[in-house]
């Protein structure tokens, strides 16, 4: 039956409820930071050496800080974070409106890819690799990240060695935050290789990497819509394009297992990568182990 009310006084229909989103994880190793997603401590994982684990409160990982709130910045201060390593390219930062200055936290711009390596054409090619259905494509992208980002990784780790004292130091320890855009691909592969170097078992490294599935779940729709608006995968049609975007902002365990196998094949394992590609000296590798591995009853 037609309404008897004029159009201008027609009561609005109730809009459909928005789809429910999972909350940001609040369990260890995650830390809820207002305005920041996928943020967690890389420490706490046991190593293959009995009664040892990765030191907590030193190195944190997550997504970009563009939407972080003043309360979120305060929480980063509470965690002792003094340095923010931004792995994004110049083009990515420009397209998102710049970067966020956080008082009391030094931002260090250490891009994985130099400007010429992040053109629109090359970015789309990487998108295809990230979003491929099997693991061959994403492993190829991950190896490219590890190779292109060697200088960045060397800078971060040498900064850590120069600023973080050995376990047992009683005063507040200056912590580091390392992030790309969503914190799953570029940040994810570097953290995984570091944990392997420190002796974390393969399956634990895979588990840590896959935590990004839960860390990004609350904001995945935002990242997917951002990619779709950029025209990513539009040639595949709306449904397939969305599926590929969802895969891009995921963290499949099989992808990390395949990467670890490739690192073993290509460089003889994590230590071969750090010596041969990153360029760390053996004493620096030992220094990282001394700083980042703790035992049940004190320093390593």
Residue 6 pLDDT greater than 70, yes or no: no
| CATH code for the domain of 234 | 3.90.190.10
Has residue 8 been placed in a domain? no
Note the pLDDT tens digit of each residue in 61-112: 999 999 999 999 999 999 999 999 999 999 889 887 788 899 999 999 999 9
d(CA 130, CA 238): 18
- What pLDDT sits at residue 97? 79
Average pLDDT over residues 197-205: 98
| 97 domain residue, yes or no | yes
When pLDDT is cut at 50, 70 and 90, the band that residue 220 belongs to is: confident
Residue 2: inside a domain, yes or no? Answer: no
Q: What value does the CA radius of gyration of the chain take, rounded to a whole number of Å? A: 21
**What percent of the chain shows pLDDT beyond 70?**
91
Q: Write down the pLDDT at residue 84.
A: 98
Q: What is the pLDDT of residue 9?
A: 36
pLDDT tens string 234-272: 888 888 888 888 888 889 999 999 999 999 999 999 999
Average pLDDT over every residue of 135-157: 96
- Tell me whether residue 16 is in a domain: no
pLDDT per residue as tens digits for the range 39-58: 999 999 999 999 999 999 99
Q: What is the total count of domains within the chain?
A: 1
Q: Tell me if 237 is assigned to some domain.
A: yes
This prediction has a pTM of 0.88
- For residue 297, pLDDT beyond 80: no
- Give residue 4's pLDDT band: very low, low, confident or very high (50, 70, 90): very low
- Checking if the pLDDT of 13 tops 90, the result is no
Per-chain mean pLDDT for the chain: 89
Q: Which of 11-15, 113-117, 273-277 has the lowest mean pLDDT?
A: 11-15
pLDDT band for 21, please (50, 70, 90 cuts). Answer: confident
Per the domain annotation, does 5 fall within a domain?
Answer: no
Q: Is residue 17 part of a domain?
A: no
Domain of residue 199, residue span: 32-299
Q: Is residue 68 part of a domain?
A: yes
Q: Tell me the percentage of the chain whose pLDDT exceeds 90.
A: 66
More confident residue, 62 or 168: 62
């Amino acid at each position: 039956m037609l309404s008897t009310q004029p159009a201008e006084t027609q009561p609005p229909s109730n809009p459909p409820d928005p789809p429910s989103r999972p909350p940001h994880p609040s369990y260890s190793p995650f830390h809820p930071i207002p305005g920041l997603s996928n943020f967690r401590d890389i420490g706490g994982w046991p190593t293959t050496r009995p009664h040892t684990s990765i030191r907590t409160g030193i190195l944190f990982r997550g997504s970009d800080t563009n939407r972080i709130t003043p309360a979120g910045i305060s929480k980063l201060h509470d965690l002792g974070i003094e340095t923010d390593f931004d792995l994004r390219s110049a083009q990515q930062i420009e397209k998102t409106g710049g970067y966020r200055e956080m008082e009391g936290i030094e931002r260090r711009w250490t891009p994985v890819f130099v400007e010429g390596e992040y053109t629109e054409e090359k970015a789309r090619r990487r998108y295809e690799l990230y979003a491929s259905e099997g693991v061959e494509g994403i492993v190829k992208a991950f190896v490219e990240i590890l190779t292109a980002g060697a200088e960045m990784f060397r800078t971060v780790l040498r900064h850590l060695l120069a600023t973080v004292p050995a376990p047992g130091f009683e005063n507040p320890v200056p912590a580091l935050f390392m992030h790309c855009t969503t914190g799953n691909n570029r940040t994810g592969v570097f953290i995984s290789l570091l944990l392997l170097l420190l002796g974390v078992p393969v399956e634990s490294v895979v588990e840590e990497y896959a935590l990004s599935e839960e860390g990004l779940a609350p904001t995945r729709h935002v990242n997917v819509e951002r990619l779709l608006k950029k025209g990513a995968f539009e040639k595949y049609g709306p449904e397939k394009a969305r599926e590929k975007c969802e895969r891009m902002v995921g963290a499949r365990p099989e992808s990390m297992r395949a990467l670890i196998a490739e690192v073993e094949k290509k460089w003889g394992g994590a230590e071969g990568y750090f010596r041969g590609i990153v360029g760390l000296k053996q004493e620096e590798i030992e220094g990282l182990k001394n700083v980042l591995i703790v035992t049940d009853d004190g320093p390593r």
